Every structure is written in structure tokens, then in C-alpha cells.
Chains A and B, each alone.
Chain A
Amino acid sequence: MTADSIKEDVLSVAASSEAQPLSRAASGNNDDASETIAQLNQQRPPVIDLDGLSVSFGRPILDNLTAQMRGNCIGLLGPNGAGKTTLLNTLLGFNRRTTGKATILGHDLSTESQLVRGMVGYMPERDSFIAGMSAVRFVRLMAELSGLDSKVALERAHEVFFYVGLGEARYRKIESFSLGMKQLVKLAQAIVHGPRILFLDEPTNGLDPPARARMLQLIREIRDSGDTQIVVASHLLQDIESCCDEVLVLKDGKIAKYCNLAEERRSNKQFLLIQIRGDEKGFVDGLRKLGCEVALPNKRRIKAVIPEGVEIQHLYALAESLSVQIRNLDYKRDSLEDIFLRAMEDE
């Protein structure tokens, strides 16, 4: 080894050790990290770009949707009949658009639908399979139809079954599977060809709590792999909240709210949820005298936004002076449920 090469190695090690604290700093502060991710997301082309998209089946189902979605995992939220599945079907090219335009990863659906479908994985809401086939043969067929060579398709079909946790059951006929297993097979066929964008329609439908947790964990892992961007349609707020970074809320075929969850949480004021026993009115008055914004969502629970300069010990001092017991005290932010409910009310 020459002196120059040793010098180069030392410099590269030094450079990497300099870089490490920076990446640690980024991962150490979640807000900074999510801000960086949000900035990066803004720089790249939108995953889905809707421009005045309307779909009508005699009556309007989707009405003039305009949004640029850039998240790694985008949630489509809305009550039943809001148009979530119709939007997914339209993005898959199943529905004809009445007006407007939609692009996926920069490709226009009207002119490049074949290309788009080559990049897409789709997990439908309803039971969908081909009867009389073993699970692994079914998934292999789906991979081959997506354009994978026969050998590669077989290899990936086996892999994907171990990944979703059905490795031991892969030679069984799909008809013999339980509902939870069928959901996993649907996920397996959607990801077997390594799509660039994955559409999941109600992925946790009919699953028991452990199976649901497993499904959400898989979705998060796929999201974090960075190879695939995900669109999840669901009416379950917790599912969306646990894996999505952006949310499109639909109501009656219109966009009721489109937001980046991290940004939304950051912009929401943090508040204290205080549970007390004793003179509630006096305590609330006392909080207001301290300069707090106070709301009473229900009995014995007080929502308070604390201004700068007011510390927690001031609240304890106030409680002591009024002989009030503070039974519980918790920092809270608006949940997705709050955002969703506000969106439903606003429209």
C-alpha cells in the first residue's frame, strides 16, 4: 500500500466520521428530520398529480380534484362513499375521467396508461384471486403478467411469501386460506414485482388486531425501504395515522383536506390536558389569569394552551392555593381524528 493511498483512506475515514454526527443530529431531532424530508419531497416531482380530475357515472363521483401528492405514504381518508376507491380505480385506469388530468410519477394516465400500470402494484379491497391455484403459482402468474421473467417471478414469489409471513402455506390453494391469509396473499401479489407505487385499498379490512398490526408493520417496512411509494385508501384513521405522511381527505367526491401530517402536527399548538378534582371554575379562572387559553371539552378535563413564561409548577401552585387535586396532566397535540373531524365539519 502506497503512502498516497493510506492518506486517501485516512481522509475518507475522517470525512465519514465528520458526516456521522450530522446524520445523528438529523435523526436525533424528529422535527428537523421530518422538515428535511418534507423539503426533499417538495423538490421531487409529485407521486400523484391531480389537475381538475372529475369522474362521473351518471352522477358526479369525483368532482374537480386538484392536488399534488408527494409523500412516501399517502393516505386517502373519507367516509364510506366519499370516492376513495373510485379515485384509486381512476388512477389505475379502470375508470374513464370525465374531465381533468392525472399523472403518476410524471406519466400522464391518458397517454401512458400501460407504462403506469407496469409501475403499479394494486391490492383490491374485495377478495380477488384465481381459483384452483396454489398461492405461490398465483403470485408467480401475477409477477409474470407484470413483466418479470418466469424464473425471476418464481424466485420472487417464494421470497414474498416468506416476507409476508405465509412461507409455510405457499403451496396451499388460496380457497383454503382464512380472511387474514387472503389479505396477505393480496399484498404479496401487489408487491411481488417490486412496483414503484403501491395502491392499497382498505388493507386491514376484516383483520383481527394481531393481523392488523402485522399488515401495518409490513406497510411501514415497504414505505421505509424507499423503493416503493404507497397510497392507502382507508376509513380507519388509526391505520392512516400509523403509516402515512400525507393525507387526502375526501368528502362527497371533493377534497375536504389535503395535508402533510408532520407539518400539520407541527403547526398545531401543543396543549395540556388537565384532569382535576375540586373547584373547577376557580381553577379555570386562575389559568386564565395566568394567560392560558382554556377550553373545557368535558367534565373535569381542561384543555389549556400555556403561554411562554408559565411553567408547570405555576399550575401546581395554583391548584394548591385552591385546594384542587391535579389527577392527570398530559401534553397533547391534535390527532388525525381532530383534523379529519374538522375537515368533515368545514365542508
Chain B
Amino acid sequence: MAIFVKAYRGYDGELTKPLDRTLVIFRYAMADVFESRLFSAFFALCFLLPVLLMCGIYLFHNIDLLVQMEVNLDELTEIDGNFFLLSMQYPQNFMLFIMVMAIAPVMISPDIRNNAMPLYLSRPISKASYILGKLMVLLVLGSLISWIPALPLFALQGYLEGNGWLVDNFYLIFASIATSLIWIVSLSLLAFAVSAYVKWKAVARIAFFGILFFGSVLGGVLTEIFGGWTGYMVNVYAGIEVLMRELYNADSNLLDWLADMQVEYALLQFFLLSGISLAVLTRRIRAFQVVS
């Protein structure tokens, strides 16, 4: 049994670097996320699709096996940007949305509800470090279920296809990384901003979903009234859809619905959404409330 000193003593030992303190927030937030068994199960489930796709790509190139399985080879589609967009990026974007809705509202609202901000901000860390530490959890977990599993799929396809497929389709790596990160960042910051104003986790989740849903409905109404791209600016999903189409160099006839919006406006929407969310968050995250 350990015996602890029952006397006060100061500390004059080594101190860690500022970046390490950001990582402390990340480490503790990450541990908190995996305390939920339900989330752990969901996270494991997210890897099912990449594994299945890997098997699919292997099968696609195994002609003998396909013949044995009596698959009509003429009906098989080509494995290209369209394939990865529809079979990998779309489903993983949905999983990312579920993941952000599950954990992002839980990260900041309890700290604000329990008045923990003075404890954080009286220490040598800034608001930016605090937000970055929390955001890193979503970036890391989101990356693990989106673009990181896509890399071995590209590699496998390139290896099995040969003929310089990987070189010809190298843009897919960038497309996968950029689309996933843009989606994670925009959703996470929006969820943080919403949860900073809501006390209860469940209400924060509903509010986050509500804002996205309301945005798409409002976007539709504004488009009907004014026409053009203006309505799509409040529809987060429209923005990411346009960016995905552009980055994956996708055939427009493959997509069920496509916003009539230029890429520049989609990027502008991303930066505006992130900027406003950050501004709201920074305003809300403070050590004390001013009573006027």
C-alpha cells in the first residue's frame, strides 16, 4: 500500500511544453469518448465497409473466382473515382455525421454546464488550445474511419490493376483526405458551437441535427424564391456534395441530386460556417459570465 505525504509542498520540477497541454485535453477527451460501449461498438462497425470493399476489390480482379461464381463480367463497373465516391466516401460521410452527432455535443457542453472553464483558462492553456484539443479527437477518430481506410483500398486497387492506375488516379487520395477533413471540421465546429449554448447532451444533439435539417429546408425555400446558388449557402450538405463532385471528378449523372452551386461558393460556405462557428464558440468559452 502506498503511503502519501500529508504535507503541502511546492513544485519546482520540469514543466511540459504548451503543445503537450493541448495533447492532455485530447488524451482525456479521447478516453472519455471510449467510456461508452455503444460508441466503441459503433466505431468498430465503421471498419466493416472498408473491409468489405477490400474483399470486393480483390474479387473484382480475381476473374477465375468471378467465373466460378457465375458473375457476368460485362456488368461489372470500372473501379475509378465514381466507384470510390459512391461506395466509400458517401457511406463514410454518413458514419462521420453519426460520429460527430454522438460525441461532439458531449465534449464542450458538460464543461460549460459545470463551470469548468475557469479551471481550464486559469492554467497556461488558451481557448484555442482547448478547442483544438477537443477538435483533434474528432479529427483523429474521423480520419480513422474515413480517409485512412481508403488508402489501403487505393493501394490494393493500384496493385491489382497495374498499368499505372495509381499514378493516373492519384488525385483520389487527395480527394478522399480533403473531403473527409472538410466534412469533419465543418460538422464538428458547428456541433461545438451549438452544444456550447445548450446545457443537456440530448438537447445539444437534437439542436445540432435540427440546425442541419432546418438549413437544408431553408436552403430549398430560398432557392425556390430567389433561384441560383444563394439558398445552397445555408445548406451544409449541398456544399460538401459540390466539393465531393469536384474533388472526385465525378460524373454528374451518377448523383441523385446536385446543387447548382459553384465550387468557389462551396468553399466559401465551408470557411464561413467554420468561421462563424469558431467565433460563436470563442465568445461562449470564457472563464466567467458578465452580469450587466
Contact = CB atoms under 8 A, between A and B. Distances in A.
Interface of A: 57-58, 89, 92-95, 114-115, 117-118, 120, 122, 124, 126-132, 141-142, 144-149, 152, 156, 158-159, 161-163, 167, 189, 191, 193-196, 199, 218, 221-222, 225, 227-228
Nearest to A145: B123
A147 to B, nearest CB: 4
A191 B13 contact: no
Given A114-B126, A131-B110, 6 more contacts: A57-B290, A57-B292, A89-B288, A144-B16, A193-B11, A196-B10
Contacts of A227: 8-10
Interface stretch (B21-29, B92-100, B208-216, B243-251): B21-29
B10 A124 contact: no
Q: Which of A115, A144, A196 has the largest count of B CB atoms less than 10 A from its CB? A: A144
Contact of B114 (A94, A130, A152, A218): A130
Contacts of A142: 119, 123
5 contacts: A58-B292, A128-B115, A145-B124, A147-B15, A194-B9
B70 to A, nearest CB: 55
A52 B13 CA distance: 35
Given A57-B290, A89-B287, A117-B124, A147 B116 contact: no
Given A131-B113, A145-B24, A148-B16, A156 B11 contact: yes
Interface in B115-151: 115-116, 118-126
B9 A94 contact: no
A340 B44 CA distance: 65
B143 to A, nearest CB: 24
Interface of B: 2, 4-16, 18, 21, 24-25, 28, 32, 35, 110-111, 113-116, 118-126, 286-288, 290, 292
A127 B7 contact: no
Given A89-B288, A130-B116, A148-B15, A221 B8 contact: yes
A141 B125 CA distance: 13
Given A94-B287, A189-B119, A222 B4 contact: no
B26 to A, nearest CB: 11
A167 B15 contact: no
Given A89-B288, A159-B5, A228 B10 contact: yes
B201 to A, nearest CB: 10
Contacts of B121: 92-94
Given A129-B116, A225-B10, A114 B32 contact: no
A148 B28 CA distance: 15
Contacts of A146: 15, 123-124
B287 A92 contact: yes
Contacts of B5: 159, 162-163
